[in-house]
Amino acid sequence: MKKALIGFGIVLASAAALGAEGFTFYTGKANNTNYLGVAIGGDIGDFLQLQIDVMKYLKDDPSLHSDVPELSRGDFLGVSGNFVLKLPLQLIPYLDRFDYIQPYISVGRGIAAENTGAAYNDAPNPVDGKTGIFNKLRPFKSFGYGLLIMITSKFGLKVDYRSVNLSEHKGLGLPGRKFSRLSFGICFGPYKKEIKRIKK
């Protein structure tokens, strides 16, 4: 867990150092509930972007919710670092005018809390007996793809699909689980260079 936190800290620091640009606010539906999220991304290569993504369920997933606060795991507050590879339509013959449509694929890793309540986090883990939120967090991997359509040079719409794989948590005695999410978002950030104008 410490490694995951250190890794996440490095990713955040890198994003800040790179002057990350491009905000996305999104909402969507996971398996059994709705969620909200925000992503901030910045270019680290010509077609490569580093993205920090935070998402949270709006209400508990009914299949994981429990009326006993110590056992309820229906929430999901996840933070992840993702690498996004943009697929350049504008380099393909006859599609040069479609540079405002940007398909992409992404891979990432993150950590998530399944319940942020004190009752859940203060309860000892069933296997290792540890307490505290840092011993309850679950690492996850994500793989996704999507489409970004820039409406203006600085504003666009995004459709994003992601498959999220939560790792097994030995301390909690929980097996890995998987869910997918589809989100729709709005994003801000320049997508191409400004046209050089002649000063008059």
Partner 1 sequence: MKTKIFTGCAILGWILMGALAGWGQDKPVSLVDSGIEHYKAGRYQESLRVLKEVIRTSIDDRELFLAYLYTSYTYFSLPVQELGNAKAQAEKAVAINPDSVLREDEFVSEFVEFYKKIREEMTGIGYFDADPNPANIYLDNAPIGVAPIKKELLAKVYLLRAVKWGYTPYEGEIEIKKTEVTNFKIPLNDDKNWKTFIRSSVIFVVLSYLMKTI
Answer for the pair 30, 60: CB distance below 8 angstroms, yes or no.
no
Answer yes or no: are the C-beta atoms of 30 and 180 closer than 8 Å.
yes
Concatenated DSSP letters of 51-115 = EEEEEEESS--TTT--SSTTT-----EEEEEEEEEE--GGGSTT-GGGTTEEEEEEEEEEEEES-
Task: Considering the complex, state which of residue 126 and residue 190 has its C-beta at the smaller distance from partner 1.
Answer: 190
Instruction: Name the minimum Å distance from CB 191 to partner 1.
Output: 11
User: Within positions 174 to 193, which residues make up the interface with partner 1, using CB under 8 A?
Assistant: 192-193
Q: Helix, strand or coil for residue 10? A: helix
The site that binds partner 1 (CB under 8 A) totals a number of residues, namely 26
Complex with partner 1: residue 88 or 171, whichever CB lies closer: 88
CB of 74 to partner 1, least distance (A): 26
CB of 173 to partner 1, least distance (A): 23
Name the burial class of residue 114, with classes exposed (0-12), middle (13-18) and buried (19+) by CB atoms within 10 angstroms of its CB: buried
Residue 125 is given by DSSP the state P
* Sole binder of partner 1 in the list 68, 93, 129, 152 (CB under 8 A): 93
Contact 97, 70 (CB under 8 A): no
> How near is the Cβ of 107 to partner 1 at its closest, in Å?
4
Which of residues 25, 134, 143, 161 is near partner 1 by CB under 8 A? 143
Classify burial at 152, counting beta carbons within 10 Å of its beta carbon; exposed 0-12, middle 13-18, buried 19 or more. exposed
DSSP code of residue 191: -
Q: Choose between 16 and 105: whose C-beta lies nearer to partner 1.
A: 105
Regarding 2 and contact with partner 1 (CB under 8 A), the answer is no
Nearer Cβ to partner 1 (29/141)? 141
Binding mask 64-83 for partner 1 (x = CB under 8 A): -------------------x
Contact residues: partner 1, CB under 8 A? 45-48, 83, 85, 88, 90-93, 96, 99, 105, 107-109, 141-143, 192-193, 195-198
